[in-house]
Amino acid sequence: MAFVQGRTFLMGSNRHYPEEAPAHRVAVDGFWIDCEPVTNAQFARFVGATHYVTAAERPLDPAHYPGAPRRMLLPGSLVFRAPARAVCLEDWRNWWRLEPGVCWRSPCGAGSSWRRLESHPVVHIAYADALAYARWAGKDLPTEAEWELAARGGLEDADYAWGDVFMPQERVMANTWHGRFPYERTAIGGFERTSPVRSFPPNGHGLYDMIGNVWEWTCDFYAPHAANPIEACCVPHNPRNLRSEMSFDPLLPQLRIPRRVIKGGSYLCAPDYCRRFRPAARQGQAVDSPTAHIGFRCVVRGQCAPPSADPCSGR
């Protein structure tokens, strides 16, 4: 883990998506944060020690999903499947498939195995799965403010974790989509899906994959940023949204499923579709919905030295 010194910083952005605005100052105490997302190998040690079963490995309760077809309630997760040609970008069903049997153990579909991807971030992780791992490891999930402060790497109000240029001197800085989304991916980035952690340069705090590779869970419920002018006299201290009732998806009023904030973007973020490969970017994700591009990392708050990477690591 790396220590991030507490400070007041400018959170959010007024230059990109509306949910990132308004930019506002917040104060965050110092904390330790994992240098990279939790990997398949680390999560496997957790499961081996606790026999934990993830959300993607359990059938869904029909009472929580009125009217859903039975096939939609089977254990499984969402997998990205590239279409053969250009499709309407307003309908995510053109490239996402809910496939039975997909989970962290078989992250790419039937017949795949995490054992070929030990150093890749674990995916198909619902919020409760990430929290269970964090508590087992003696850690916690970061707040949105902690995560964003860490991702900025000491840079104030920069667009990216490394500065204001997406590819400085044509150098690829993160695992994101290159090409025309979702049907054409060029070889510029070097990876078709997730990449091994530490494949790209760290930010100023020595943290890897804060941008791209996989989205990461935070413990904040999703809601628009509260109005907080930059010049406000009272800066929020260690802000955290604990109000789940504000997080429900207004486009799905029949489903009262809370959403948490995810941050950082993923290997599916593309300049022509989803420019959320930035520290300020944010998105709401239903807590019960694992996918092929969401993982997590953990924090330990305070100045004290953190525990080892996990209780079985021997470090």
Q: How far apart are CA 76 and CA 58, in angstroms?
A: 8
- Residue at 105 is within a domain: no
Q: Which residues contact 276 (CB under 8 A, 6 or more apart)?
A: 17, 264, 265, 269, 282, 283
Output 310 or 122, whichever has higher pLDDT: 122
Q: 314: pLDDT confidence band, cut at 50, 70 and 90?
A: very low
**Mean pLDDT computed over 266-284:** 95
Q: What is the pLDDT of residues 28-42, one digit of tens each?
A: 999 999 999 999 999
In a domain, 72, yes or no: no
Q: Is 302 left (phi over 0), alpha (psi -120 to 50) or beta?
A: left
Per-residue pLDDT, 226 = 63
Render 257-287 in DSSP notation, one character per residue.
Answer: --EEEEES--TT--TTT----STT--EEEET
Please check whether residue 111 lies inside any domain of the structure: no
In this prediction, residue 138 carries a pLDDT of: 96
Question: Is-contact 243 223, C-beta < 8 A?
Answer: yes
Domain membership flag for residue 195? yes
Q: With pLDDT > 70 as the criterion, what percentage of the chain qualifies? A: 94
Q: How confident is the model at residue 229 (pLDDT cuts 50, 70, 90)?
A: very low
Instruction: Read off the pLDDT band of 104 (50, 70, 90).
Output: very high
Closest by Cα among 130, 102, 160 to 37:
130
**pLDDT tier at 313, thresholds 50, 70, 90:** very low
Q: Which of 201, 194, 202, 175 has its CA nearest to residue 269?
A: 175
| 142 and 263 Cβ atoms separated by less than 8 Å | no
At residue 86, does pLDDT exceed 80? yes
Find, among 159, 174, 180, 160, the residue nearest to 273 by Cα. Answer: 180
The confidence band for 179, taking pLDDT boundaries of 50, 70 and 90, is: very high
**β-bridge pairing 215-221 and 294-295:** parallel
Of 80-89, 228-237, 245-254, the one with minimum mean pLDDT is: 228-237
Q: Structurally, how many domains does the chain consist of?
A: 1
Per-residue model confidence (pLDDT) at position 232:
53
DSSP 8-state code for residue 305: P
CATH classification at residue 165? 3.90.1580.10
Q: For residue 237, tell me if it sits in a domain.
A: yes
Mean pLDDT value across the chain: 91
Mean per-residue pLDDT, 172-198: 93
**Rounded Cα gap, residues 55 and 123, in angstroms:** 12
| Per-residue pLDDT tens over the stretch 186-214 | 988 789 999 999 999 999 999 999 999 99
- Per-residue buried b or exposed e for 102-119, using 16+ beta carbons within 10 Å of the residue's own CB: bbbbbbbeeeeebeebee
Number of H helices, E strands in the chain: 3, 11
Amino acid at 47: V
Query: Rounded mean pLDDT of 63-82?
Result: 81
Q: How far apart are CA 265 and CA 157, in angstroms?
A: 18
217 inside domain: yes
Range of the domain at 52: 1-56+120-310
Does residue 274 lie within any of the structural domains?
Answer: yes
Query: Has residue 82 been placed in a domain?
Result: no
